Amino acid sequence: MKSQDVRSKFLKFFEGKQHLIVPSAPMVLKNDPTLMFVNAGMVPFKEYFLGNSEPKKNRISDSQKCLRVSGKHNDLEEVGYDTYHHTLFEMLGNWSFGDYFKEEAIAWAWELLTEVYGIDKSILYVTVFEGSDDEDNLKMDTEAYDIWKKYISEDRILKGNKKDNFWEMGDQGPCGPCSEIHVDIRSAEEKAKVDAKTLINMDHPHVVEIWNLVFMQYNRKANGVLEALPNKHIDTGMGFERLCMVLQDVQSNYDTDVFTPIIREIETITGKTYGDNEEVDIAIRVISDHVRAVAFSIADGQLPSNTGSGYVIRRILRRAVRYGFTFLDKKEPLIYRLVDVLSKKMGEAFPEIRAQKVLIENVIKEEEASFLRTLDQGLVLLNRIVEETKGDTVSGEKAFELYDTYGFPIDLTALILSEKNLKLDEKGFNEQLQKQKERSRSASETSTEDWTVLFEDDVQEFIGYDTQEANVKIAKYRKVTSKKDGEMYQLVFNLTPFYPEGGGQVGDKGVLQDTHGDVVYILDTKKENNVIIHLCKNLPEHLNESFKAVVNSEHRALSSSNHTATHLLHQALRTVLGEHVEQKGSLVKPKSLRFDFSHFSKVTPEQLQEIEDFVNARIEGKLPLEEHRNIPMEKAIEEGAMALFGEKYGDTVRTIRFGKSMELCGGIHVKNTSDIWHFKIVSEGAVAAGIRRIEAITNKSVRDYFAENNTAYLEMKGLLNNAKEPIKALENLQGENSDLKKQIEELLKDKAKNIKGELKSELTEINGIQFLAKKLDLDASGVKDVCFELGSQFENLFLIFGAENDGKAILSCYISKELVASKGLNAGTIVRELGKHIQGGGGGQPFFATAGGKNPNGIEAALEAAKDYL
Ligand code: ATP
Ligand code: MG
């Protein structure tokens, strides 16, 4: 069965059981401080389990892109070495939000596997939770056990511990007991030798878990305590690639049609064959896996970078480059060349990958090239370290420096050293690594207390589109302590006019006033999942009373101006540069805006002018805001609204239209484009391969900008004696200046000529050498000219000249080439030694060298000492 059919059969089956089929949510998470990437199918639905928001339907099914490379679920180091763990994989899932529970979940899983997919029952095993006698004190899941008994003989139902049979997303959040379904795909002989039951959950590549049915009934709180969820839910996750392995009757995920086209392409590019050599195979598996993770992440809007999720992606890509570099002998970019096959293979189910193919290729290629350069430089440094190493062990500190400062991977260091019969002090290296980790941990550590709930409130209404002021009550609050911000409080209101940071726009600031005249400042507003959080330094005193919440209106007005300008800029870019322009990032602050977009060459000054004019024409056109809230997503798209890749949209959306610019947007905008006043681009440049950035200002910032420029202009004009034509006056000055420079050069040349004549007569012959040590009143290049002119007239010259320029001392030494050869004199060595007198150093060639120093008073002593060389 082709992988495409495996996926669609799953979704069709659950559609038949009244599930709503939804597309995969973006893999990169925003607004979630506990998690960077979706690591399980349930993550996008977390809010439904917690009861913070309502699903469109209480039965849903999907295939979700998951990434397990950080945090609680991290399979990165396994990938490539085994045949069934990936970084990015698809998780097929069916969900019940407070609807059906264990009975149906188990019955349907069994029906799908054995009847629809036709998997032989004799290869299936299941597990149930055995309970725990730790602080959670949980009972065995006898309910699940009894249901399974109806389908499978009891000797195939195994009891499992908390590690395998109690599912948790992270340290906090929804969780519950689970039942796993395992397959045994070993050969008949192997099956006869070892009982499958002894291999379950024992990391055997052919006795693997394919599906996990989670019976969600608890929430793990920050203090570690389990609390019963308001409703019971079903969350199941089946590894798509593993299921394909079973249904395609192969022994490895990499032998399914999900991976074989990519692997064939790697073989073609590198000339290696998969299946001949274990190291090569690992490298091929690593690359074919990692290209998927990186490509999907870029498609979701997360580019490789130096921090956060971007850094995780960069590390994955670098891991792939390193394996290619080391085991496939590929010293030039290769991974980007796989994107084409990938997009052909996956583009149907995940259109984002097809739509952004060129961008993905460019970004990966650039990253690869830059890391390959790092590896090259690292190799040079490593060779130097090897040369300098005495004994047979390279110190952990040196290896760490290479790793930390130059990004050179430690396993590569170890490998190269072992090829040179050297050892690496791994203990020393790990100590350094540990120290660094502690440094960065203590810098970023935050502790978050549990919420103190003042009253239960399900709907926390945002009313900030219509008003900037409201009477509010505090529903809950908590304290967060971090190194960076110290102690802060987070408040949640029953309703709020404060806009939480999102869609690129910064959060609102403002105040909270009580009836006693006390005021607490709201310093920022953020969103965590769906909850709006107000940050303040102090907790209000009368927590249970009602407050007047007032948004800082200037902060908001200026942000709104920049946000609307961002939409107009987006429209301008697509009009002037072309429809290929996609938004890749945006930051909207009161002072300025920043907009990143895909485009493959520099935007020319003419284009920038055209873009600026386009936006300003719309500002002058006084276009009114047309806002629609809660319109169905399909309708908005049909009407031409622009949606962004990687953005998670609800079923109904808000659209913002100004003239022909129409976007899906949750941000705050001006009522009329004329409020923007004026738009000015202040910079344009590259941020990554194929991604450009424009920075611009509007409104008050433009006024300030013009005012500053004008002041500078007037000052300049003043300095030019208020010339009528200041530019002409400046050009004249510049002309005069360069004429004067030329004249000075001529004069200095003449002076050097005269000096040369005098110096000739001062030469003294000592031991057949024409010698002179003297302080000259010339600059460094004048001294050099003198040396070389005298040098062209004598064959046995030894000159030491001192000079003083701008309070610094210079020593120059010239020795005829003949003397260098016959007497073994070296000007470089001599100036270095004499340089001590002037507190400086220098060097050069054996026949001419100079030294610079801080102490002009030492020049005489240096000249005196020069005689000693004769
Ligand atoms: P394992 O023990 O094999 O690592 P798990 O217990 O971590 O699996 P779950 O968290 O229960 O797995 O995820 C549900 C399903 O997702 C698994 O049954 C498996 O089929 C699949 N799965 C989990 N991790 C991976 C991975 N890294 N690559 C591919 N599929 C995976
Ligand atoms: Mg796992």
pLDDT at 836 (0 to 100): 92
- pLDDT band for 306, please (50, 70, 90 cuts): confident
Ligand nearest to the CA of 93: 1
- Ligand 1: which atom is nearest the Cα of residue 178? 11
pLDDT band at 18 (very low <50, low <70, confident <90, very high): very high
Residue 508, pLDDT > 90, answer yes
Ligand nearest to the CA of 79: 1
> Is any atom of ligand 1 closer than 6 Å to the C-beta of 254?
no
Q: How far is CA 741 from CA 653, 736, 752, 784, 804, in A?
A: 67, 9, 17, 19, 21
Shortest-distance Cα residue to atom 6 of ligand 1: 164
Residue nearest to atom 27 of ligand 1 (CA): 85
pLDDT attached to residue 785: 87
Largest CA distance in the chain: 117
E-state strands within 137-206: 157-160, 166-168, 173-184
734-789 per-position pLDDT tens digit: 999 999 999 998 888 888 788 888 888 899 988 888 999 999 988 888 899 889 98
Q: Each residue of 325-350: pLDDT tens digit? A: 989 988 999 999 999 999 999 999 99
Averaged pLDDT for residues 473-481: 94
Helix (H) or strand (E) holding 107: helix 102-111
Of 66, 95, 209, 290, the residue with max ligand 1 atoms within 8 A of its CB, to mutate for a pocket test, comes to 209
Tokens of 375: 């590896």
pLDDT at 835: 92
Span 406-413, average pLDDT: 84
Contact (CB, 8 A) for 13 and 287: no
Q: How far is the CA of 317 from the centre of ligand 1 (A)?
A: 22
Residue 690 has a pLDDT of 86
Distance between CA atoms of 30 and 647, rounded to whole angstroms? Answer: 9
Ligand 1, from 242, 254, 289: best to mutate by most atoms within 8 Å of Cβ?
A: 242
Type and span of the H or E element at 427: helix 426-444
Sole residue written with tokens 């109690």: 166
Q: Residue with structure tokens 């005021």? A: 519
Whether residue 459 is predicted with pLDDT greater than 70 in this model: the reply is no
User: Where are the domains positioned within the chain?
Assistant: 3-258, 270-374, 389-444, 447-551, 556-706, 746-869
* pLDDT of 603 above 90: yes
For 481-501, write each residue's pLDDT tens digit.
988 889 999 999 999 999 999
Predicted local distance difference test score (pLDDT) of residue 750: 84
Pocket test of ligand 1: the residue of 7, 85, 158, 213 to mutate, having most ligand atoms within 8 Å of its CB, is 85
Predicted pLDDT at 870 = 77
pLDDT of residue 697: 98
Q: What share of the chain is helix, strand, coil (3-state, %, to 5)?
A: 45, 25, 30
How many angstroms separate the alpha carbon of residue 40 from the centre of ligand 1? Answer: 9
How far is the C-alpha of 581 from the C-alpha of 31, rounded, in Å? 26
- Integer Cα distance of 213 and 178 in angstroms: 5
pLDDT, position 654: 94
Asked if the model's pLDDT at residue 51 lies above 80, the reply is no
* Residue 292 Cβ contacting ligand 1 at under 6 Å: no
pLDDT the model gives residue 307: 84
Residue nearest to atom 11 of ligand 1 (CA): 212
The pLDDT of residue 819 is 87
Task: Give residue-wise pLDDT tens across range 341-389.
Answer: 999 999 999 999 999 999 999 999 999 999 999 888 888 889 888 888 8
Q: How far apart are CA 780 and CA 42, in angstroms?
A: 73
CA 73 – ligand 2 centroid, Å: 6
Ligand 1 atom with the shortest distance to the CA of 209: 18
- Judge if the beta carbon of residue 209 lies within 6 A of ligand 1: yes
Show binding-site residues for Zn(2+): 563, 567, 665, 669
Least distant ligand from the CA of 209? 1
Question: What is residue 437's predicted lDDT score, i.e. its pLDDT?
Answer: 85
| Architecture of the structural domain at 447-551 | Beta Barrel (2.40)
- Mean local confidence (pLDDT), 579-587: 92
Residue 774: CB atoms within 10 A of its CB come to 16
From 677, 664, 607, 611, select the one nearest 636 (Cα to Cα).
Answer: 664
pLDDT score, position 458: 62
For ligand 1, say whether the CB of 237 is within 6 Å of any of its atoms.
yes
Portion of the chain with pLDDT greater than 70, in percent: 100
Residue 390: is its pLDDT beyond 90? Answer: no
- Does residue 710 carry a pLDDT above 80? yes
From the CB of 85, is ligand 1 less than 6 Å away?
yes
Tens digit of each residue's pLDDT (9 = 90 or more) over 77-105: 899 999 999 999 999 999 999 999 999 99
Q: Do the strands 393-394 and 423-424 form a parallel or antiparallel pair, or are they unpaired?
A: parallel
Q: Which two tokens stand for residue 295?
A: 């490509």
Q: Which atom of ligand 1 is nearest to the CA of 79?
A: 27
- The answer to whether residue 35 scores a pLDDT higher than 80 is yes
pLDDT digits over 647-659, tens only?
Answer: 888 888 999 999 9
Class for the domain spanning 746-869 = alpha beta
From residue 764, how far is each of 330, 752, 771, 778, 865 by CA, in Å? 65, 20, 5, 21, 16
* Ligand 1 midpoint to CA 72 (Å): 13
Of all ligands present, the nearest one to the C-alpha of 167 is: 1
Supply the residue whose CA is at minimum distance from atom 1 of ligand 1.
209
Q: Is the pLDDT of residue 72 over 90?
A: no
> What does the pLDDT look like over 831-866, one tens digit per residue?
999 999 999 888 889 999 999 999 999 999 999 998
Inter-residue contact 445 to 437 (CB < 8 Å): no
The CATH H-level (homologous superfamily) assignment of domain 556-706 is Threonyl-trna Synthetase; Chain A, domain 2 (3.30.980.10)
The model's confidence at residue 318, banded by pLDDT at 50, 70 and 90, is very high
pLDDT at 122: 95
Q: How far apart are CA 831 and CA 825, in angstroms?
A: 11
pLDDT at 152: 96
Q: Are 597 and 691 in contact (CB under 8 A)?
A: yes
198-256 residue pLDDT tens? 999 999 999 999 999 999 999 888 888 999 888 899 999 999 999 999 999 999 999 99
How far is residue 843's CA from residue 812's CA, in Å, rounded to a whole number? 10
Tell me which residue has its CA closest to atom 3 in ligand 1: 209
CATH number of 3-258: 3.30.930.10
Q: Strand pairing of 173-184 and 124-129?
A: antiparallel
Q: Is 75 in the pocket of ligand 1 (CB under 6 A)?
A: yes
Q: Please give the mean pLDDT across all residues of the chain.
A: 92
Structure token pair of residue 807: 């309070």
Testing ligand 1's pocket by substitution, the residue of 89, 203, 247 carrying the most ligand atoms inside 8 A of its CB is 89
Does residue 91's CB lie within 6 angstroms of at least one atom of ligand 1? yes
Give the single-character DSSP code of 474. E
Verify whether ligand 1 is closer than 6 Å to residue 241 (CB atom): yes
Candidates 541, 542, 535, 500; CA nearest to 521 is 535
Atom 19 (ligand 1) nearest CA: 239
